[in-house]
Amino acid sequence: MFFEQLVNGLTLGSIYALFALGYTMVYGILLMINFAHSEIFMVGAYIGFLVLFSILAFPPQFLPIYFLLCFILSMLGAGLLAVIVERIAYKPLRKASRLTPLISAIGVSIFLQNLIMLTVGAQSKTYPDKLPITQFHFFDVQISSLQIFIFGLSILLMIILNIFVSRTKLGKAMRAVAENHTVSQLMGINVNTIISLVFLIGGGLGGIAGVLNGLYYGSIKYNMGFLLGIKAFTAAVLGGIGNIKGAMVGGFILGIAEALAAGYISSESKDIIAFVILILVLLFRPAGIFGEEVTEKI
Amino acid sequence: MKNEIKNYELKIKNGGRREGRKLKIWITWIISLLLLIILPLIGYNCGNYYAIHVAGLVGIYCILCVGLNITVGYTGLLDLGFMSFCAIGAYTAVLLSIKGIPFWITLPISLFLGGFIRYLLGVPVLRLRGDYLAIVTLAFGEIVRLIANNFDWLTNGPKGLPRVGEKIAEIRLFSLVFNDDLQFYYLIFFFLAGTILISYRLEHSRIGRALVAIREDELAAGLSGINVSQIKSIAFVLSGMFGALAGAIYVHWIGFISPEMFTFRESVLLVSMIVIGGMGNIGGAILGVILLVGIPEILRPVLGTKFVDYRMLIFGMIMIVVIIFRPEGILRSKRRAGELKIKNYEL
């Protein structure tokens, strides 16, 4: 029981972690909560759904290519959408008070959710389960190949992201912009490009998380982003918002906590756990696990 | 000497003009008040029941928005879970009312409970910075909804209250029994007038000015001798009580509640009404309600139910456009308009 829930938790946690990275990266660079990120995630899931849905025949030898195509398209689509949202709704407000972009983000979120509801439909869609799933047994713990795939893919993406941020020049520029916009501009960094890049990467990871979520649960809905978005945000806060490693660790911790609550308490308590963790973290350690306490400058 | 007399004359003249303007404002107020009282009566006698229902609904939303405006508009705390206090008020009222307790006793209890829970929430939460506060209130709103959804023994879960065979006690005022839309319209109107009066007096009181000071700069407000946490707490609790008030009236009027009525979507809708109408301005909040609730509901029979689906899509767009091009909302509050705009260049 415990190990089985642990496996479930790790799978869930890797989806949360990928999703949370978008929140944390945007917060790190713009100090705003990107409320529309949950809708980027949802749109990513829908793009993946449309790609898989429109491929009629699935000869097994082409399966990896199809899935690669699905992931790349949903990543690009979600990332580009995030960039467009930033350009339209957040960029004009960069100098405004801190709550203002939050409200326009809520506007974007309402808009995208209803757009999908009206164009694709309000009913939940069954995700095409074309991926052959085999069950493995380690002692008496059952692990499906899908769980291994989700876990492996997200770990791979996180490693790539980490290398990108810490080793490349663009990653360095990202860290510089997060430190201080004006100074990094003086050093010759194009701040707007870097912010767009952050939205592209964060949105792309969110889109992949959406596809993985669809594959794992088997169905998607236009309002799926809301609940998962709060959970991913909880994961980001838990790890220390603005901190990339924190979001990864926070995602896994939250996933495991939820899976254990679902296994040992009741399946309804699963959703409440995330909210309770969120409130407790914000009250007692708002900086999260890896975050540093920031004293407010006057 | 001559100069002084001239000044004095000028003063009288100006004062006279101001008096005249005041009179005009009073006349407009009284006429609009009379219209609000008489028009539904005419509508009712002409058989236009739907319009009265919509008017009642607008009134309920106005109470909610004027209440929420105290937190969001005056104090600048973004509350994304306000519907949870409406839910607390409504559930308290209905649970007591099922036992046969009259409205005039359940109402103060709902108000007290709403305010008290809001106070308990506020003690830890009000220390948080703006955007964190928004998230915690959101989470609290969801927790309340999940509790209402899962605690079957108390709230009957998603099936809602009252259960089959139970009845909500009617509202009685002396020998008058409130049971149709027109009577409820007047009841809501009465409470809305009270809400607006309290909110208006608050805005122009010492506390109201302190709230604005806190919104502008918490640190400076604290240094000027304002007890920041206490004042914030007062505003927070007061607005929660208005939420509970709206919930308690609503449930007596409609006669049914379920957790689905208090979703995050509704809370966001309230915030968007205030933002679009004009933050920190009672008239703005009411205008927001009319634009986002009144007009779509009136248009519903004309444009068909399909329109209701598109409503949210349009709201989302309007929210973005308003916040980018007119961040103060359509009716901007005088205070906000008069504020100094200093661009914050950081180096």
Domains of chain A and any CATH numbers: 2-284 (1.10.3470)
Contacts of A111 in chain B (CB under 8 A): 313, 316-317, 320
What is the C-alpha separation between B98 and A99, in angstroms, rounded? 42
CA distances from B29 to A177, B33, B153 (A): 54, 6, 48
pLDDT band, very low/low/confident/very high, at B129 (cuts 50, 70, 90): confident
What is the C-alpha separation between A98 and A233, in angstroms, rounded? 18
Q: How many domains does chain B have?
A: 1
Q: Is the dihedral of CA B101, B105, B110, B112 positive or negative?
A: negative
What is the C-alpha separation between B235 and A226, in angstroms, rounded? 29
CB contact under 8 A, A104 and B324: yes
Contacts of A92 in chain B (CB under 8 A): 324
Report the gap between the CA of B86 and the closest CA in chain A (Å).
20
- Residue numbers of B between 138 and 167 with CB closer than 8 Å to A: 138-140, 142-143, 146, 150
> How confident is the model at residue B294, as a pLDDT?
86
Contacts of B344 in chain A (CB under 8 A): 95
Mean pLDDT highest for which of A58-72, B133-147, B236-250? B236-250
> How confident is the model at residue B338, as a pLDDT?
61
Residue A17 near residue A251, CB atoms below 8 Å: yes
Which whole number is the average pLDDT over A190-200?
A: 94
Is A276 in the B-facing interface, judged by CB distances under 8 Å?
yes
Q: Answer yes or no: is pLDDT of A32 > 70.
A: yes
Which whole number is the average pLDDT over A193-217?
A: 94
CB contact under 8 A, A275 and B143: yes
- Considering just the CA atoms, what is the radius of gyration of chain B in Å? 22
Please provide the distance, in angstroms rounded to a whole number, between the alpha carbons at the two ends of chain B.
Answer: 56
Q: Residue A197: which residues within 8 A CB-CB, separation 6 or more?
A: A170, A174
> How confident is the model at residue B345, as a pLDDT?
39
Is B320 in the A-facing interface, judged by CB distances under 8 Å?
yes
> How confident is the model at residue B5, as a pLDDT?
63
Does some domain include residue B126? yes
> How confident is the model at residue A155, as a pLDDT?
93
Mutation target to probe the B interface, by most B beta carbons within 10 A, among A103, A118, A234, A284 is A103
What is the C-alpha separation between B31 and B248, in angstroms, rounded? 30
Q: Which residue has the higher pLDDT, B159 or B309?
A: B159
The rounded mean pLDDT for chain A is 87
pLDDT band, very low/low/confident/very high, at B2 (cuts 50, 70, 90): low
Does some domain include residue B285? no
Q: Answer yes or no: is pLDDT of B57 > 80.
A: yes
Report the gap between the CA of B143 and the closest CA in chain A (Å).
6
Does some domain include residue B344? no
Tell me the two tokens of residue B121: 């929430």
Q: Is the dihedral of CA A220, A221, A222, A226 positive or negative?
A: negative
Q: Answer yes or no: is pLDDT of B33 > 90.
A: no
Give the nearest partner residue to A106 out of B139, B268, B317, using CB atoms: B268
Paired with A137 in beta bridges are: A142
Q: Residue A57: which residues within 8 A CB-CB, separation 6 or more?
A: none
Does some domain include residue B46? no
Does some domain include residue B270? no
This prediction has a pTM of 0.82
Is A112 in the B-facing interface, judged by CB distances under 8 Å?
yes
Is A121 in the B-facing interface, judged by CB distances under 8 Å?
no
Report the gap between the CA of A239 and the closest CA in chain B (Å).
15
Report the gap between the CA of B61 and the closest CA in chain A (Å).
20
Q: Which residue has the higher pLDDT, B17 or A188?
A: A188
Does some domain include residue B38? no
Q: Residue B313: which residues within 8 A CB-CB, separation 6 or more?
A: A110, A111, A114, A115, A118
Does some domain include residue B254? yes
Which whole number is the average pLDDT over A170-178?
A: 92
Which whole number is the average pLDDT over B38-43?
A: 82
If residue A137 lies in a helix (H) or strand (E), which one and from where to where? Answer: strand A135-138
The rounded mean pLDDT for chain B is 84
Helix, strand or coil for residue A293? coil
Q: Which domain holds residue B170?
A: 56-262
Does some domain include residue B66? yes
